Chains A and B, each alone.
Chain A
Amino acid sequence: MSGWFHTALSAADLLGLFGHFLVLSLFAVGGAITTAPDMHRYVVAEHHWISDAQFTSSIAIAQAAPGPNVLFVATLGWSVAGPLGAIATMFGTLIPSTLLTLAVTRWGAKRKESRGMRAFTTGLTPLTIGLLVATGWLLAAPYATDRAHAIGAIALVAITVIVMVRTRISPMWLVGLGAIVGAFGWV
């Protein structure tokens, strides 16, 4: 427990942490998770601020908790340097990508009907859909390859897909169903 609340970092270290995440933000195409290997290099391998296990559990918590997965950046910052660490990593991650997104959105909105923007969205839409299937596939893989529970897990994924495509009920019901069958040890 004590490991989560230490603030051993100096002001210079905190600034370095903030600066590192500022830079990584602009390379995070596909989400902050794509820069996780470099975050690992910085806070674990280079500075030894946290252990491998702490790094992994930071990501696991954000996956398990409600909300966008980018929050793993905050849990990571927290485990490095408490609240100030969470502020440094979270703002570092969000500021550059937010400003860039707003700038590009406004620039693009003015040219929405231009040939370039149309070609851009028309061309990328099929990739976006392929990428979504790939993301679901990669998320499902660890459950489907676990022999003890594979059938239950694959059935649960399939039921989820069918119900969501066929009906408009809230996904919360399915998440609840997943929690219950999971608690019984069926997946």
Chain B
Amino acid sequence: MSAIASTPAEAPLAQPASPAELFFTFNRLALQGFGGVLAIAQHELVERQRWLTRQQFVEMLSLSQVLPGPNVVNLALMLGDRFFGWRGALASLGGMLLVPLVIVLALTAAYAEFSRIAVVAGALRGMGAVAAGLVIATAFRLMGTLRSNRLGPPLAAAFSVATFVMIALLHWPLVWVLAGLGSLAIALAWRRWR
């Protein structure tokens, strides 16, 4: 809960003590995630627990992006596997899904009734707007990693902007953007290590 704006990217990394700690950490961050968990995951795993640097987080996220399946779920699996193998992967996955699953199924029954109440509908709108802001803020936090990107900051930023335009403004399918623009970016990065 501390409000220090330090630079956690530089701080030494910590490690989870056990699969149980992974379970409870992912459970806690999933329960905070209204309208998506990614922003909370970045906050908890990088800024708070310091299990990953921002650089490691964005690399893990990049990999989970191109793999099928929900990004945060893939991220949980990778992180769990990294520390405790299979047991860690299952602990992270279970922590992220079990309790929220029970809640969401309980809400399913109640939703039709409650969503008609204006105050509840308004509160959900407000939480939705914050969820959008949290995702944008996560992107801003991770932008710093582009400074050390081997593509060079201007080219890396150009790829970010192009991705934004293709997905948000042109509504192109993600698979095509990753296959086309992604391949180009990887090919250019490949040449930097000659």
List residues of chain A with CB under 8 Å of any chain B CB.
Answer: 1, 4, 25-32, 34, 57-58, 60-71, 74-75, 78-79, 86, 90, 93-94, 96-98, 100-102, 104-106, 108-109, 115-116, 118-140, 143, 149, 153, 156-161, 163-172, 174-175, 177-187
B contact residues, total (Cβ < 8 Å) = 115
B95, chain A: closest CB distance, angstroms: 11
A1-B126 Cα distance, complex, nearest whole Å:
27
Q: List 28 A-B contacts (CB under 8 A).
A: A27-B68, A29-B67, A57-B111, A61-B107, A63-B35, A64-B128, A67-B104, A97-B74, A108-B63, A116-B190, A119-B186, A120-B189, A122-B186, A123-B186, A125-B146, A126-B163, A127-B177, A128-B62, A129-B58, A135-B167, A137-B164, A138-B167, A157-B130, A165-B140, A168-B48, A171-B134, A178-B131, A179-B123
B143, chain A: closest CB distance, angstroms: 6
Q: Is B17 an interface residue (CB 8 A)?
A: no
* Chain B neighbourhood of A100, CB < 8 A: 67-69
**B108, B120, B146, B186, most chain A CB atoms within 10 A:** B108
A99, chain B: closest CB distance, angstroms: 10
Q: Is B151 an interface residue (CB 8 A)?
A: yes
A159-B146 Cα distance, complex, nearest whole Å:
24
Instruction: State which residues 102-138 of B face A: CB under 8 Å.
Output: 103-105, 107-109, 111-112, 115, 118-120, 122-138
Contact B62 A136 (CB under 8 A): no
Contact A134 B163 (CB under 8 A): yes
Give the residue of A60, A126, A172 whose beta carbon is less than 8 angstroms from that of B149.
A126
Q: How many A-B contacts if CB must be within 8 Å?
A: 390
Give the residue of A90, A109, A164, A177 whose beta carbon is less than 8 angstroms from that of B101.
A90
Contact B104 A75 (CB under 8 A): yes
Secondary structure at the A interface, as helix, strand, loop or mixed, is: helix
Q: Is B49 an interface residue (CB 8 A)?
A: no
Given A32-B69, A123-B187, A170-B1, is A132 in contact with B142 using a C-beta cutoff of 8 Å? yes
* Chain A neighbourhood of B189, CB < 8 A: 118-120, 122-123
Given A61-B107, A71-B100, is A183 in contact with B132 using a C-beta cutoff of 8 Å? no
**A69, A137, A182, most chain B CB atoms within 10 A:** A182
A172, chain B: closest CB distance, angstroms: 5
* Chain A neighbourhood of B109, CB < 8 A: 1, 4
Contact indicator per residue, chain B 43-65, by CB within 8 Å of chain A (1) or not (0):
10001100000000011011111
* Chain A neighbourhood of B138, CB < 8 A: 132, 136, 164
A47-B152 Cα distance, complex, nearest whole Å:
52
**From B142, which residue of chain A is reached at the shortest CB distance?**
A129
7 interchain residue pairs of minimum CB distance: A182-B126, A67-B100, A160-B133, A97-B69, A130-B163, A164-B137, A123-B186
A42, chain B: closest CB distance, angstroms: 17
**From A127, which residue of chain B is reached at the shortest CB distance?**
B163
Given A27-B68, A98-B89, A130-B160, 5 new contacts (CB under 8 A): A124-B185, A126-B160, A137-B164, A156-B133, A183-B123
* Chain A neighbourhood of B136, CB < 8 A: 132-133, 136-137, 140, 157, 160-161
Q: Is B24 an interface residue (CB 8 A)?
A: no
Q: Is B93 an interface residue (CB 8 A)?
A: yes
Instruction: State which residues 67-99 of B face A: CB under 8 Å.
Output: 67-74, 77-78, 81-82, 86, 89, 93, 96-97, 99
A28-B74 Cα distance, complex, nearest whole Å:
12
Contact B36 A68 (CB under 8 A): yes
